[in-house]
Amino acid sequence: MTEVLLTLHVLAAILAIGPVSVAGSLFPRYAREGNAGVMALLHRICRNYALVGVAVPVFGFATGATLGVLTQAWLLASIAATAAAAALLVFAVLPAQGRVLAGEASGEGAAGRLAMTTGIFNLLWTIVAVLMVVRPGA
């Protein structure tokens, strides 16, 4: 059962977080160009795959429980980084994309801040990936 849960966890991470990372990273480029059609598509990808991304921690917690590692420091750090990335996406990246699409925010400044915020989101997921592979203290 552990192998099935771990496989589902990894697949969910790849198939849900990957598209959000790529689409989110591309959005500022098209915001600078003012390409509303592409921005709308990238925002929709980010929003929809964020919903699918809920499966990542669900399968992650189930996997951690079957392995008995829910209290280990590397996993707690990973959970914290995942929560921070999710909060950044929900409360910063997606709303900023929405404001740019609505014309409430425009220009180089908005695109620059959005690029930085998305970069931090991607860095947090990189930290999670490293923690999952290296498992400090394991």
pLDDT digits (tens, 9 = 90+) for 104-138: 887 778 899 999 999 999 999 999 999 998 886 55
Q: What is the dihedral of CA 49, 61, 3, 138, to 10 degrees?
A: 120
Could you tell me the pLDDT band of residue 9, with boundaries at 50, 70 and 90? very high
Give the number of residues written for the chain. Answer: 138
Q: What is the dihedral of CA 116, 45, 132, 75, to 10 degrees?
A: 80
The token pair that represents 119 in the structure block: 């970069």
Taking the model in full, what pTM does it have?
A: 0.91
- Residue 121 sits at φ, ψ, to 5 deg, of -55, -45
- Each residue's pLDDT tens digit, 17-63: 999 999 999 999 999 999 999 999 999 999 999 999 999 999 999 99
The token pair that represents 111 in the structure block: 């695109």
Q: Is 68 left (phi over 0), alpha (psi -120 to 50) or beta?
A: left
One-letter amino acid of 27: F
**Cβ-based neighbours of 114, under 8 Å, separated by 6 or more:** 27, 28, 31, 93, 96, 97, 100
Q: Which of 44, 7, 15, 31 is nearest to 100 (CA)?
A: 31
